[in-house]
Amino acid sequence: MDSSGQGAVGPYELLLQLATGGMAEVFIARRARAAGAGAAGGPAEAGCSTEAVEAGGSSAAVAGGSSAAVAGVPASVIEAGGSSAAVQVGGADPCREPLVAVKRIRADLRYESGYAGMLFDEAGMASRVVSPNFVPVLDYGLDEGGAPYIVMELVVGVTLKNLTRPPEMLEIGDALDLIAQSAEGLHAAHEARDSSGELLQVIHRDMSPSNILVGVDGRASICDLGLAYALRRTTRTKTGTVKGKLSYLSPEQAHARALDRRSDVFSLGVVAWEALAGRRLFMGSSMLSILHAVLEREIPPLSSEREGVGQAVTAAVARALERDRDARWPTAADFARALREAAEREGHTASRERVGALVAGILPVPLKLLAPSYGSGGPLVTTESVAALRAMHASGMVGEADSSGILAPRRPSRG
């Protein structure tokens, strides 16, 4: 393996650090070349191009017949069971292997059992979610030193947080479409089931713009179940502990009460309000003032915040933001349906091409490099892309720290 990289995690070669968060760090990686493969530049497998052989060309390939380029292949994901065995999705072509995102616990936390348990819980839950609007977990395991990692599809995109930073404003129809897609991915997480068909009762608990990825094809995907709760998850959080970003907590989270899926609906309602209004909803100078805002501050109707937003859209978002959870949309799917119906009623059209162009304009350099090879299942490994990523690492380039812990790009200044 080329020494200019960042080493290996299980069977994956780390090429470039892409992001860091409070608990984890994320790398662009590739499946390491299978034993016995030919030297670089010389095909070792019949029918595969030089670039494909450079990618490894083993059963580690993850590609598929889906047209979903951002959130992944909507097929059952085989759990790795704590081993380093790769996951192969149906229809995979070993000559068209994608780069992946490898998430591992930060070095200073790597051998603390609580964090390892949280990472494996995240992998186990995410591997049960099947949706074109949810970033899939492809593999997970322990590296040679016993540290845990998970492998996800690499999304060539940015977070919704990066896409909606003031003074930028999404078109109303585009914002509604992205939130509706996100709600559909969230609903899929809520509906995740175990091997016996029983609901896992997943609650994300950290819905925010940092945990919604938007790809260069305009598709939105939910990511990061690091703080999620499931009835039968292995690790537990302390009773009364508040989890999640304060400005996006539901009232019941702020009170540290028992949660259900409607808590996530409220949090996504906050995201929707902000994406349409172009400003933050619950702000404060301290933790207590933010919590007070979540619990007590009047929520302005969207129709008063932005010209062109009518009563149908205003009402759909307002119902998601009801502090009485019995008055909210009962499911994220209901919220998504209401947003789409409101958009149609008010004549707001969405363009994923337009959104994709916005995303492409603010991609961090490493992902901009990979955009041309982006397709179903992620960007393809090529000799050129591997060499370029290694060169970026050698030059000291790293991803931006972000609370989401995944795929947070540097945003260029716009004057």
Q: Is the pLDDT of residue 259 over 60?
A: yes
Within this chain, do residues 350 and 375 fall inside the same structural domain, yes or no?
A: no
Within this chain, do residues 59 and 175 fall inside the same structural domain, yes or no?
A: no
Residue 333 within a domain: yes
Residue 82 within a domain: yes
pLDDT band at 113 (very low <50, low <70, confident <90, very high): low
Q: Which CATH number goes with the domain that contains 276? A: 1.10.510.10
| Count of helix runs (H) and strand runs (E) in the chain | 12, 11
Q: Quote the pLDDT of residue 7.
A: 85
Among 139, 206, 224, 264, the active-site one is 206
Hunting for tokens 């010389």 — which residue is that? 42
Within this chain, do residues 238 and 321 fall inside the same structural domain, yes or no?
A: yes
Within this chain, do residues 60 and 119 fall inside the same structural domain, yes or no?
A: yes
Within this chain, do residues 42 and 71 fall inside the same structural domain, yes or no?
A: yes
Q: Quote the pLDDT of residue 148.
A: 81
Look at the chain and report how many structural domains it folds into.
2
Residue 100 within a domain: yes
Within this chain, do residues 244 and 114 fall inside the same structural domain, yes or no?
A: no
- Residue 245 · residue 405 · CB < 8 Å: no
Q: Is the pLDDT of residue 2 over 60?
A: no
Per-residue pLDDT, averaged over 216-226, amounts to 87
Which domain covers residue 60, as residue numbers? 8-155+363-394
> Is the backbone peptide bond immediately before 167 cis, with ω within 30 degrees of 0?
yes
Higher per-residue confidence, 59 vs 137: 137
Residue 410 within a domain: no
Whether the pTM exceeds 0.85: the reply is no
Q: Quote the pLDDT of residue 255.
A: 92
* Predicted confidence (pLDDT) per residue in 9-30, tens digit: 889 999 999 887 767 789 999 9
Hunting for tokens 């209004």 — which residue is that? 277
Per-residue DSSP letter, 282 = S
Per-residue pLDDT, averaged over 147-163, amounts to 91
pLDDT band at 412 (very low <50, low <70, confident <90, very high): very low
Within this chain, do residues 89 and 189 fall inside the same structural domain, yes or no?
A: no
Give the Cα separation of 323 and 20 in Å (integer): 33
Degrees to nearest 5, angle at CA 227 with 323 and 203: 50
Within this chain, do residues 256 and 379 fall inside the same structural domain, yes or no?
A: no
Within this chain, do residues 182 and 235 fall inside the same structural domain, yes or no?
A: yes
Q: Is the pLDDT of residue 116 over 50?
A: yes
194 is catalytic: no
* Predicted confidence (pLDDT) per residue in 54-106, tens digit: 333 322 222 222 222 222 222 332 233 333 333 333 334 445 789 999 988 77
Q: Quote the pLDDT of residue 397.
A: 76
Residue 272 within a domain: yes
Helix residue spans in 31-71 (DSSP H): 50-55
From the list 93, 174, 80, 84, the residue with the least C-alpha distance to 136 is: 80
Per-residue pLDDT, averaged over 108-120, amounts to 71
Residue 253 within a domain: yes
From the list 275, 267, 271, 282, the residue with the least C-alpha distance to 329 is: 267
* Predicted confidence (pLDDT) per residue in 357-405, tens digit: 999 999 988 899 999 988 778 999 999 999 999 898 888 876 655 433 3
Within this chain, do residues 142 and 262 fall inside the same structural domain, yes or no?
A: no
Q: Quote the pLDDT of residue 161.
A: 93
Within this chain, do residues 118 and 260 fall inside the same structural domain, yes or no?
A: no
Q: Quote the pLDDT of residue 286.
A: 92
pLDDT band at 237 (very low <50, low <70, confident <90, very high): very low
Residue 405 within a domain: no
* Predicted confidence (pLDDT) per residue in 177-203, tens digit: 999 999 999 999 999 998 888 888 889
Q: What share of the chain is helix, strand, coil (3-state, %, to 5)?
A: 35, 15, 50
Q: What is the dihedral of CA 305, 307, 313, 317, to 10 degrees?
A: -10
- Residue 188 · residue 198 · CB < 8 Å: no
Residue 3 within a domain: no
Both tokens assigned to 219: 């598709």
When mean pLDDT is compared across 41-50, 168-177, 271-280, 304-313, the lowest value belongs to 41-50
Q: Quote the pLDDT of residue 50.
A: 35
When mean pLDDT is compared across 123-127, 207-211, 274-278, 324-328, the lowest value belongs to 123-127
Both tokens assigned to 185: 């991915």
Q: Quote the pLDDT of residue 106.
A: 76
Give the Cα separation of 124 and 344 in Å (integer): 37
Mean pLDDT, the chain, rounded, equals 78
Percent with pLDDT over 90 in the chain: 48
From the list 348, 343, 389, 345, the residue with the least C-alpha distance to 366 is: 389
Q: Which CATH number goes with the domain that contains 85? A: 3.30.200.20
Within this chain, do residues 368 and 228 fall inside the same structural domain, yes or no?
A: no
**Radius of gyration from C-alpha coordinates of the chain:** 21
Contact residues for 359 (Cβ-Cβ < 8 A; gap 6+):
157, 158, 163, 214, 215, 216, 218
